[in-house]
Amino acid sequence: MHSPLIIAISGASGSGKSLFTENLLNAFSEQGRPVQVLREDHYYRAQDHLPKEAREKTNYDHPNAFEHELLQEHLNQLRSGEPIEYPHYCFKTHTRLPESETLQPAPVIILEGIMLLARPELLPLFNVKIFIDTPLDICLMRRMMRDVKERGRNIESVARQYEATVKPMYHSFIEPSRFTADVVVTQGGKNQIALDVIKSHIQQTLL
């Protein structure tokens, strides 16, 4: 079995990574190519040992909030043709769920997350590194809408978190990681030209 092609898609929270990932996934699905998608936020560290008040104070926009060691282990397993136990995370209780999901290897693996390109130990595992570059004010608006709608937050808490950790961590870790990318995509997940170029490159690689 050939090693899978691993594509990492990174950028700020709310930049359009998920949309770009979905568009890429749909393009491969139409061609009948098996694709597996992993999301970095599933790898937030388990915090069962902490009270809920302490969990709420965790800086979730710092690289240390993620268990990248487990992600690295899982990528190596998938590269070796082995299935993984993919973790799930609850954003309302701020800890990992006890149930995991068995995921099988696939010829194409897409990863999506804010810190993927900021971790030197992960970079050698990626065949294609993509950075979604979107203005921060747009990212903030999207993040507010998502956190209020999907994660039970209120606008005031999202705004406080943005000023306290999201924006500083973006400038400290995420923005510099764009220089490790093979491709920088502007206009977020709707950039059809970038999607077509990347899709064509990947198709040639898989021949």
Q: Are strands 5-11 and 101-103 parallel, antiparallel or unpaired?
A: unpaired
Q: pTM of the entire structure?
A: 0.90
Q: What is the pLDDT of residue 129?
A: 95
Q: Are 5 and 206 in contact (CB under 8 A)?
A: yes
Alpha helices in 86-183 (DSSP H): 136-150, 155-161, 167-169, 175-177
Half-sphere exposure of 64 (CA within 13 A, CB side): 2
Q: What is the pLDDT of residue 198?
A: 84
Domains of the chain by start residue, with CATH: 5-206 (3.40.50.300)
- The residues of the chain scoring below 50 in pLDDT are none
Q: What is the pLDDT of residue 54?
A: 87
Dihedral in degrees, nearest 10, Cα atoms 73, 77, 78, 79: 100
Q: What is the pLDDT of residue 196?
A: 87
Using only C-alpha atoms, what is the Rg of the chain? 17
Q: Are 105 and 111 in contact (CB under 8 A)?
A: no
